[in-house]
């Protein structure tokens, strides 16, 4: 097997007595969608934060594209090609949708210490950004400030900015959260095509989406992965049914 794009080995993180991440190992192979499911408080977001660099693990290894990224901050990891979306949208609220995506395009092109050329007249920024908004179906709202977008639109905008980074892997933290059934269905179709561009580590509560999309599923309970396998294996795993799907064994 080729080396995985992202590999996590024996990751541990405690908050006081709470073991939020308790020896987690998993990997993300190219071309796959690896879903991470688990009940509330299982430590899914904590894990994503450690991978993206906003939290420092107590111990364990994170390798991305064959490189140990433990010492890199969030911005440096993003520059390597690790794009993330946030559980609750995290956008530049006063900027329009277009300018949010342009920020990602600008970051991808290199240094931001450029002081003279106006960004709104820079077609090397506006055109790729507009193309990304078109891909997620947000082109008609390009000039609306992020703060004035609907919840679902902000989720789409998060995806568009992640796309604009031209990433080597996506970390998507509950992209469907708060979306209506129609929006969730559209986004499911969209993510399905996205795995060709870069593999996705997907944290999601929407089981329809997970079972429709995932090549592999890992189940996280109390900071530990209790099972990893394809959709059918997970559906039929008695321990998973007991711990998470809420059925008697």
Partner 1 sequence: MRKVVTREAIANGSLALLLLAVPFAAIAMDEPFYVTLATRIAILALAAVGLNIALGLGGLVSFGHAAFFGLGGYAAGILATHAFNAEPLLLGIPATTSMPVIWLVALVVCGLVALPIGAVSLRTSGVYFIMITLAFAQMIYYFAISWPAYGGQDGLSIYVRNSFPGVNTALPLPLFLICYGLLLLGLVLFWTLRNSRFGAALQAARQNPTRLAAVGIAPFNIRLTAFTVSAMITGLAGALFADLNRFTSPSMLSWHMSGELIVLIILGGRGRLFGPVAGAMLFVLFEFALGGITERWQLFLGLILLGVVLFARGGLMGFIAGRERHG
Q: Is residue 201 within 8 Å of residue 169, measured between CB atoms?
A: yes
**Stretch 18-57 residues interacting with partner 1 (CB under 8 A):** 52, 54
How many alpha carbons fall within 13 Å on the CB side of residue 33? 25
Using CB under 8 A as the binding rule, whether residue 84 contacts partner 1 is answered as yes
Q: Which stretch binds partner 1 (CB under 8 A): 15-23, 99-107, 214-222, 229-237?
A: 99-107
Residue 84, Cβ neighbours under 10 Å: how many?
26
Report how far Cα 191 is from the mean position of its chain's Cα atoms. 11
Using CB under 8 A as the binding rule, whether residue 96 contacts partner 1 is answered as yes
Using CB under 8 A as the binding rule, whether residue 161 contacts partner 1 is answered as yes
Q: What tokens were used for 76?
A: 């440096």
* Alpha-carbon gap, residue 144 to 194, rounded angstroms: 25
Quick one: 2 or 113, whose CB is closer to partner 1?
A: 113
Please pick, from the candidates 59, 68, 120, 151, the single residue that binds partner 1 as defined by CB under 8 A. Answer: 120
Q: In whole angstroms, how close is the CB of 103 to partner 1 at the nearest point? A: 6
Using CB under 8 A as the binding rule, whether residue 141 contacts partner 1 is answered as no
Using CB under 8 A as the binding rule, whether residue 116 contacts partner 1 is answered as yes
Please pick, from the candidates 6, 103, 130, 179, the single residue that binds partner 1 as defined by CB under 8 A. Answer: 103
Using CB under 8 A as the binding rule, whether residue 95 contacts partner 1 is answered as yes
Q: In whole angstroms, how close is the CB of 13 to partner 1 at the nearest point? A: 19
Those residues with Cβ within 8 angstroms of residue 59's Cβ, 6 or more apart along the chain or in another chain: 10, 11, 12
Residue 150, Cβ neighbours under 10 Å: how many?
13
Using CB under 8 A as the binding rule, whether residue 93 contacts partner 1 is answered as yes
* Alpha-carbon gap, residue 234 to 64, rounded angstroms: 26
* Alpha-carbon gap, residue 139 to 131, rounded angstroms: 8
Q: Which stretch binds partner 1 (CB under 8 A): 37-45, 60-68, 120-128, 131-139?
A: 120-128
The three-state secondary structure class of 227 is: strand
Q: Is residue 47 within 8 Å of residue 24, measured between CB atoms?
A: yes
Per DSSP, 164 falls in state H
Using CB under 8 A as the binding rule, whether residue 99 contacts partner 1 is answered as yes
Using CB under 8 A as the binding rule, whether residue 79 contacts partner 1 is answered as yes
**Could you list the residues that contact partner 1 (CB under 8 A)?**
52, 54, 73-76, 78-79, 83-84, 86, 90-96, 98-100, 102-104, 106-108, 112-120, 122, 125, 143, 145, 161, 164-165
């Amino acid at each position: 097997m080729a080396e995985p794009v992202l590999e996590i080995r024996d990751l541990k993180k405690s908050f006081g007595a709470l073991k939020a991440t308790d020896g987690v190992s998993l990997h993300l192979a190219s071309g796959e969608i690896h879903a991470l499911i688990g009940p509330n408080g299982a430590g899914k977001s904590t894990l994503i934060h450690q991978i993206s660099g906003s939290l420092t693990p107590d111990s364990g290894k994170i390798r991305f594209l064959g490189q140990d990224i433990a010492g890199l901050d969030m911005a440096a990891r993003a520059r390597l090609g690790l794009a993330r979306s946030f559980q609750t949208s995290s956008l530049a609220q006063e900027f329009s949708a277009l300018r949010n995506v342009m920020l990602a395009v600008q970051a991808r092109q290199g240094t931001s210490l450029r002081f003279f050329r106006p960004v709104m007249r820079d077609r090397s920024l506006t055109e790729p950004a507009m193309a990304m908004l078109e891909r997620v179906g947000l082109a008609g709202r390009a000039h609306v400030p992020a703060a004035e977008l609907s919840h679902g639109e902000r989720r789409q905008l998060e995806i568009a900015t992640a796309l604009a980074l031209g990433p080597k892997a996506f970390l998507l933290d509950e992209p469907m959260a708060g979306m209506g059934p129609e929006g969730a269905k559209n986004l499911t179709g969209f993510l399905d095509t996205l795995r060709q561009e870069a593999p996705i580590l997907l944290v999601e509560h929407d089981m329809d989406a997970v079972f429709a999309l995932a090549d592999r599923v890992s189940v996280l309970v109390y900071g530990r992965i209790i099972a990893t396998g394809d959709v059918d294996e997970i559906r039929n795993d008695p321990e998973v049914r007991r711990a998470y799907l809420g059925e008697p064994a």
